[in-house]
Structure 1
Amino acid sequence: MTKAALARTDGLQTVTSDDPVVQVRDICKKYGNLEALRGINLEFQRGKLTTLLGPSGCGKTTLLKIIAGLVPATTGEIRVNGRAVTGPGPERAFVFQDFALMPWATVLRNVGFGLELRGVESVERNRIACRYIEQVGLAGFEDKYPHELSGGMRQRVGIARAFAVNADVLLLDEPFSAVDEQNRRKFQEDLLQLVELEKKTFIFVTHSIEEAVYVSDRIVLLSPRPGRISRVIDPSIDRSASPDEIRRNASYLDVVEEIWQGLRQYAE
């Protein structure tokens, strides 16, 4: 299929398969006299996972929320599929660190809630929700409530809800930070499978260097406040190896050490 065959039109802007899905143009953010971000320019492609990594307070989550349309930039522009971002939109879905589930709703209702807000009919909504509940390994828990689930299971619900709305861009704010190490590693492997399966644009925030190297196609290192792009790294990990082999591989370990050496000066 040719590029022309894949092209679509968004208003006056023609978007092709080779265009970046998300464009971050000279983004700056100030909170009063506090400058959180300065001069951020990035592009994010379809089917790739990019991690924002840096010391605490460097503006990782702030940038993620600006892309989501949850926080306005002071200056600069975000474009998604060629259109300027002026607020939240259906082409972007956000996975929160604290799950952000409705405690009074079942797993099925939580996962399908975004579709419900869009007016999707209940039969179709439940069909889509069940598909993603199964994908994240929660089949059989559709009628459970958040308080009946472990922390890891609640995070799976949040991830399934983000996928269910079929957004082009998935924004994940430290989604695995509240689970134990065993579940965290399993989630990382599941995430890589979803990246391969869904072919969406993933923007991921984490404090973990090892996690960033393991899951990422690209890592953007941000400097301490005001957050600026310090460096961009392509880990180039061989995904054909097993998870244990990857974590023991010299290339993986070298990238982890390289990033640590760049960030250790900012450790408290």
Structure 2
Amino acid sequence: MANAALSRTQGQLAVTCEDAIVQVRDIGKNYGDVEALRGINLEFQRGKLTTLLGPSGCGKTTLLKIIAGLVPASSGEICVNDKVVTGPGPERAFVFQDFALMPWATVMRNVGFGLELRGVPAIERNRVARRYIEQVGLAGFEEKYPHELSGGMRQRVGIARAFAVNADVLLLDEPFSAVDEQNRRKFQEDLLRLVDLEKKTFIFVTHSIEEAVYVSDRIVLLSPRPGRISQVIDPMIDRTASPDDIRRDAGYLNTVEEIWQGLRQYAE
């Protein structure tokens, strides 16, 4: 396998992509006297996975929630499909770190709940829900309740629910942080399979450098608070290689090390 190529952009210049579906325009966010984000300009390409990476408190999750319409920006605007975001919308789906499942509902109903809110008939929403339950490896668990599932399985339910509503953009806030390393690696491989299969746009938050390099088409590094764009990295990894070959490849390892060298000064 050839070494992965690496391209970089630094500073606060807008990061542009062809066929951008999400545009982040001069976003700033203050919480009282605390400035969380400053002057964020980004464009997210349709059908690609972009990871937001940076030290704790740099505003990764805040930016993700602003894009989702769950948190208002203090300045700037978000556009999705050329429309300004004023709140949550059906073109975006959010996968929460803490699963956010309904404890009284089965896996089937949890996955189909977004469709239920839209008034989709039961037969159709169960068909769609069953499809994504199978896609995330939970076939046979349709009638189980969240308390009967492991943490990793509950997170799979959350991911299936996000896919079921057929949103254009999926926003994932550290979706694999609650699982062990073995399952985390399997989830990463499953995520890449779903990215390729579904052709959706993914915006992904993680604290793991290795995870970011492994799953991402593009990595956006944010500086410590106030979060600003410090660097953008395109790890040009050969996705046709096996997972083991990718993780052993010198290009992958060198990219991980380079990002670590850029972030280690912020480690506590």
- TM-score calculated relative to the size of structure 1: 0.93
SS of the aligned residue for 2:20 comes to: coil
Matches within 5 A, 1:1-268: 19-268=19-268
Partner AA of 2:265 in structure 1: Q
State the shift of 1:241 in Å: 1.0
The separation in 2 between residues aligned to 1:45 and 1:199, in whole angstroms, is 11
SS of the aligned residue for 1:152 comes to: helix
State the shift of 1:19 in Å: 2.8
The separation in 1 between residues aligned to 2:43 and 2:116, in whole angstroms, is 31
State the shift of 1:100 in Å: 0.3
The separation in 2 between residues aligned to 1:236 and 1:224, in whole angstroms, is 26
Partner AA of 1:120 in structure 2: V
State the shift of 1:40 in Å: 0.2
Partner AA of 1:84 in structure 2: V
Ranked by relative contact order (alpha carbons within 8 Å, sequence separation 6 or more), the top structure is: 2
State the shift of 1:46 in Å: 1.1
The separation in 2 between residues aligned to 1:197 and 1:43, in whole angstroms, is 22
The separation in 1 between residues aligned to 2:53 and 2:230, in whole angstroms, is 10
The separation in 1 between residues aligned to 2:199 and 2:42, in whole angstroms, is 19
Aligned length: 251
Moved over 6 A (4+): none
Kindly provide the CA deviation profile for residues 31-73 of structure 1, in whole angstroms up to 9, marking residues without a partner as x. Answer: 0110000000000011100000000000000000000000000
The separation in 2 between residues aligned to 1:22 and 1:198, in whole angstroms, is 17
The separation in 1 between residues aligned to 2:228 and 2:189, in whole angstroms, is 30
SS of the aligned residue for 2:219 comes to: strand
SS of the aligned residue for 1:235 comes to: strand
The separation in 1 between residues aligned to 2:200 and 2:26, in whole angstroms, is 24
Partner AA of 1:122 in structure 2: A
* Structure 2: stretches of 5+ with no match in the other structure: 1-17
- TM-score calculated relative to the size of structure 2: 0.93
The separation in 1 between residues aligned to 2:149 and 2:100, in whole angstroms, is 14
The separation in 2 between residues aligned to 1:37 and 1:145, in whole angstroms, is 38
Matching residue of 2:6: none
The separation in 2 between residues aligned to 1:42 and 1:118, in whole angstroms, is 31
